[in-house]
Chain A
Amino acid sequence: DTAVSQTPKYLVTQMGNDKSIKCEQNLGHDTMYWYKQDSKKFLKIMFSYNNKELIINETVPNRFSPKSPDKAHLNLHINSLELGDSAVYFCASSQVDREEKFFGPGTRLTVL
Protein backbone atom coordinates (compact mmCIF):
# COMPACT_ATOMS: atom_id res chain seq x y z
CA ASP A 1 0.00 0.00 0.00
CA THR A 2 1.19 3.49 -0.81
CA ALA A 3 0.96 5.52 2.37
CA VAL A 4 2.54 7.41 5.18
CA SER A 5 3.39 5.06 8.03
CA GLN A 6 4.53 5.70 11.58
CA THR A 7 5.94 3.57 14.37
CA PRO A 8 5.14 3.02 17.11
CA LYS A 9 1.38 3.57 17.21
CA TYR A 10 1.43 3.92 20.98
CA LEU A 11 4.31 5.02 23.20
CA VAL A 12 4.15 5.15 26.98
CA THR A 13 7.21 6.37 28.82
CA GLN A 14 8.45 8.09 31.96
CA MET A 15 9.33 11.73 32.37
CA GLY A 16 12.94 12.48 31.55
CA ASN A 17 13.36 9.67 29.03
CA ASP A 18 14.45 10.13 25.42
CA LYS A 19 12.32 8.58 22.68
CA SER A 20 12.02 8.51 18.91
CA ILE A 21 9.10 8.18 16.54
CA LYS A 22 9.71 6.96 13.01
CA CYS A 23 7.92 8.01 9.84
CA GLU A 24 8.17 6.65 6.33
CA GLN A 25 6.35 7.60 3.15
CA ASN A 26 6.37 5.66 -0.10
CA LEU A 27 4.43 8.27 -2.05
CA GLY A 28 7.54 9.74 -3.62
CA HIS A 29 6.88 13.07 -1.93
CA ASP A 30 9.57 15.69 -1.48
CA THR A 31 8.48 17.22 1.78
CA MET A 32 7.64 15.74 5.16
CA TYR A 33 6.15 17.23 8.31
CA TRP A 34 5.54 16.62 11.96
CA TYR A 35 2.32 17.85 13.57
CA LYS A 36 1.25 17.67 17.20
CA GLN A 37 -2.40 17.23 18.19
CA ASP A 38 -3.06 18.01 21.84
CA SER A 39 -5.80 16.76 24.14
CA LYS A 40 -8.15 19.43 22.81
CA LYS A 41 -7.61 18.09 19.29
CA PHE A 42 -5.74 21.21 18.19
CA LEU A 43 -3.36 20.27 15.37
CA LYS A 44 -0.18 22.35 15.14
CA ILE A 45 2.78 22.21 12.77
CA MET A 46 6.10 21.41 14.42
CA PHE A 47 8.51 20.94 11.51
CA SER A 48 8.56 20.76 7.77
CA TYR A 49 11.55 19.35 5.90
CA ASN A 50 12.64 18.74 2.37
CA ASN A 51 16.06 17.89 1.10
CA LYS A 52 17.01 21.55 1.15
CA GLU A 53 15.40 23.17 4.09
CA LEU A 54 14.25 22.55 7.62
CA ILE A 55 11.54 24.90 8.79
CA ILE A 56 10.96 24.90 12.53
CA ASN A 57 7.93 26.27 14.31
CA GLU A 58 9.42 28.71 16.79
CA THR A 59 7.17 27.46 19.57
CA VAL A 60 8.70 23.97 19.49
CA PRO A 61 11.20 23.35 22.33
CA ASN A 62 14.70 22.39 21.24
CA ARG A 63 14.22 19.05 23.00
CA PHE A 64 12.46 18.05 19.79
CA SER A 65 14.64 17.33 16.78
CA PRO A 66 13.73 15.92 13.38
CA LYS A 67 16.16 13.60 11.67
CA SER A 68 15.92 12.62 8.02
CA PRO A 69 18.16 9.76 6.85
CA ASP A 70 16.70 10.06 3.34
CA LYS A 71 13.84 11.62 1.41
CA ALA A 72 11.37 8.91 2.42
CA HIS A 73 11.98 9.09 6.16
CA LEU A 74 11.60 11.78 8.79
CA ASN A 75 12.03 10.67 12.38
CA LEU A 76 11.24 12.72 15.47
CA HIS A 77 13.56 12.50 18.44
CA ILE A 78 12.47 13.89 21.79
CA ASN A 79 14.86 14.43 24.69
CA SER A 80 13.99 14.74 28.36
CA LEU A 81 10.30 14.05 27.92
CA GLU A 82 7.84 16.14 29.94
CA LEU A 83 4.22 15.57 30.93
CA GLY A 84 3.12 18.27 28.50
CA ASP A 85 4.58 16.34 25.60
CA SER A 86 1.72 13.86 25.86
CA ALA A 87 -0.20 14.15 22.60
CA VAL A 88 -0.76 12.46 19.27
CA TYR A 89 2.04 13.13 16.81
CA PHE A 90 1.23 12.97 13.12
CA CYS A 91 3.69 12.68 10.31
CA ALA A 92 2.60 14.02 6.92
CA SER A 93 4.04 14.37 3.45
CA SER A 94 3.40 16.31 0.27
CA GLN A 95 4.87 16.88 -3.16
CA VAL A 96 6.82 20.13 -3.31
CA ASP A 97 4.62 21.60 -6.05
CA ARG A 98 1.38 20.42 -4.48
CA GLU A 99 -0.13 21.64 -1.27
CA GLU A 100 -2.21 18.63 -0.27
CA LYS A 101 -0.73 16.95 2.80
CA PHE A 102 -1.22 13.25 3.44
CA PHE A 103 -1.15 12.20 7.07
CA GLY A 104 0.15 9.09 8.75
CA PRO A 105 -1.94 7.19 11.33
CA GLY A 106 -0.44 9.02 14.30
CA THR A 107 1.59 8.04 17.37
CA ARG A 108 -0.09 8.49 20.72
CA LEU A 109 2.61 9.49 23.21
CA THR A 110 1.84 9.30 26.92
CA VAL A 111 4.38 10.63 29.38
CA LEU A 112 3.89 9.47 32.98
Chain B
Amino acid sequence: QKEVEQNSGPLSVPEGAIASLNCTYSDRGSQSFFWYRQYSGKSPELIMFIYSNGDKEDGRFTAQLNKASQYVSLLIRDSQPSDSATYLCAVNPAGHSGGGADGLTFGKGTHLIIQP
Protein backbone atom coordinates (compact mmCIF):
# COMPACT_ATOMS: atom_id res chain seq x y z
CA GLN B 1 0.00 0.00 0.00
CA LYS B 2 1.36 3.36 -1.00
CA GLU B 3 1.83 5.55 2.06
CA VAL B 4 2.82 9.07 2.98
CA GLU B 5 4.11 9.57 6.51
CA GLN B 6 4.21 12.75 8.54
CA ASN B 7 4.77 13.49 12.21
CA SER B 8 1.36 14.59 13.47
CA GLY B 9 2.84 17.04 15.98
CA PRO B 10 1.96 19.49 17.30
CA LEU B 11 5.13 21.23 16.20
CA SER B 12 5.60 24.44 18.16
CA VAL B 13 7.86 27.15 16.72
CA PRO B 14 8.50 30.69 18.02
CA GLU B 15 7.37 33.56 15.85
CA GLY B 16 10.10 34.65 13.45
CA ALA B 17 11.89 31.28 13.50
CA ILE B 18 12.08 28.69 10.73
CA ALA B 19 9.48 25.93 10.80
CA SER B 20 10.59 22.66 9.27
CA LEU B 21 7.99 20.08 8.22
CA ASN B 22 8.96 16.65 6.99
CA CYS B 23 7.35 13.91 4.95
CA THR B 24 8.41 10.48 3.67
CA TYR B 25 6.70 8.38 1.03
CA SER B 26 6.80 4.70 0.22
CA ASP B 27 6.24 4.64 -3.55
CA ARG B 28 9.70 5.11 -5.05
CA GLY B 29 8.27 5.84 -8.47
CA SER B 30 6.26 8.87 -7.33
CA GLN B 31 6.88 11.87 -9.52
CA SER B 32 5.13 14.86 -8.03
CA PHE B 33 4.82 16.19 -4.51
CA PHE B 34 2.60 18.78 -2.91
CA TRP B 35 2.22 20.73 0.30
CA TYR B 36 -1.25 21.84 1.33
CA ARG B 37 -2.17 24.03 4.28
CA GLN B 38 -5.46 23.42 6.08
CA TYR B 39 -6.85 25.75 8.70
CA SER B 40 -9.27 24.24 11.19
CA GLY B 41 -12.69 23.82 9.63
CA LYS B 42 -11.47 24.89 6.19
CA SER B 43 -10.49 23.15 2.98
CA PRO B 44 -6.91 22.28 1.98
CA GLU B 45 -5.13 25.06 0.15
CA LEU B 46 -2.16 24.37 -2.15
CA ILE B 47 1.04 26.07 -1.00
CA MET B 48 3.69 24.51 -3.20
CA PHE B 49 4.45 21.62 -5.49
CA ILE B 50 7.78 20.19 -6.51
CA TYR B 51 8.78 17.67 -9.17
CA SER B 52 12.59 17.71 -9.25
CA ASN B 53 15.24 16.93 -6.68
CA GLY B 54 16.53 19.97 -4.83
CA ASP B 55 14.95 23.11 -3.49
CA LYS B 56 12.09 25.24 -4.76
CA GLU B 57 11.47 28.62 -3.16
CA ASP B 58 8.32 30.74 -3.16
CA GLY B 59 8.36 33.70 -0.83
CA ARG B 60 8.81 32.50 2.73
CA PHE B 61 8.27 28.87 1.71
CA THR B 62 10.89 26.42 0.45
CA ALA B 63 10.07 22.88 -0.62
CA GLN B 64 12.88 20.34 -0.67
CA LEU B 65 12.80 16.99 -2.45
CA ASN B 66 15.19 14.06 -2.19
CA LYS B 67 13.89 11.19 -4.31
CA ALA B 68 16.75 8.87 -3.35
CA SER B 69 15.73 9.17 0.30
CA GLN B 70 12.00 9.41 -0.55
CA TYR B 71 11.83 12.55 1.52
CA VAL B 72 10.03 15.86 1.07
CA SER B 73 10.20 18.84 3.38
CA LEU B 74 8.71 22.30 3.71
CA LEU B 75 10.54 25.17 5.34
CA ILE B 76 8.68 28.27 6.45
CA ARG B 77 10.96 31.23 7.14
CA ASP B 78 10.04 34.11 9.44
CA SER B 79 7.11 32.12 10.83
CA GLN B 80 3.98 34.11 11.60
CA PRO B 81 1.04 33.25 13.88
CA SER B 82 -1.09 33.10 10.73
CA ASP B 83 1.03 30.13 9.61
CA SER B 84 -0.49 28.06 12.43
CA ALA B 85 -2.39 25.30 10.65
CA THR B 86 -2.17 21.64 9.65
CA TYR B 87 0.23 21.02 6.77
CA LEU B 88 -0.58 18.10 4.50
CA CYS B 89 2.02 16.41 2.36
CA ALA B 90 0.60 14.78 -0.78
CA VAL B 91 2.06 12.58 -3.47
CA ASN B 92 0.87 11.65 -6.94
CA PRO B 93 1.36 7.86 -7.06
CA ALA B 94 3.66 6.30 -9.61
CA GLY B 95 2.25 4.67 -12.67
CA HIS B 96 -0.40 7.29 -13.12
CA SER B 97 -0.63 9.59 -16.07
CA GLY B 98 0.13 12.62 -13.98
CA GLY B 99 -2.35 14.33 -16.18
CA GLY B 100 -4.64 15.14 -13.32
CA ALA B 101 -7.12 12.27 -13.52
CA ASP B 102 -5.59 10.69 -10.47
CA GLY B 103 -6.13 11.34 -6.83
CA LEU B 104 -3.38 12.38 -4.51
CA THR B 105 -2.22 10.24 -1.59
CA PHE B 106 -2.13 12.41 1.50
CA GLY B 107 -0.24 12.12 4.75
CA LYS B 108 -2.14 12.64 7.97
CA GLY B 109 -0.73 16.14 8.35
CA THR B 110 1.48 17.99 10.82
CA HIS B 111 -0.19 20.44 13.16
CA LEU B 112 2.02 23.56 13.33
CA ILE B 113 1.70 26.15 16.09
CA ILE B 114 3.54 29.44 15.81
CA GLN B 115 3.97 30.95 19.26
CA PRO B 116 3.81 34.78 19.40
Interface, chain A (partner B; CB < 8 A): 30-31, 33, 35, 40-48, 50, 53, 55, 57, 90, 94-106
Q: Of B16-24, B70-78, B98-106, which stretch is located at the interface?
A: B98-106
Residues 59-116 of B at the A interface (beta carbon under 8 Å): 86, 88, 92, 98-106, 108-109
Is residue B26 within 8 Å, beta carbon to beta carbon, of the partner chain? no
Q: How far is the CA of A55 from the CA of B93 in the complex (A)?
A: 14
- By the criterion of a CB under 8 Å from any partner CB, how many residues of chain B are at the interface? 23
Contacts A40-B108, A43-B88, A99-B98 known; A35 to B45 CB distance under 8 Å? no
B101 touches A42 (CB 8 A): no
B100 touches A94 (CB 8 A): yes
List residues of chain B with CB within 8 A of the CB of A40: 108
From A42, A57, A95, residue with most partner B Cβ within 10 Å: A42
CB distance from A81 to the nearest CB of B (A): 22
In chain B, what residue has the closest Cβ to A95?
B100
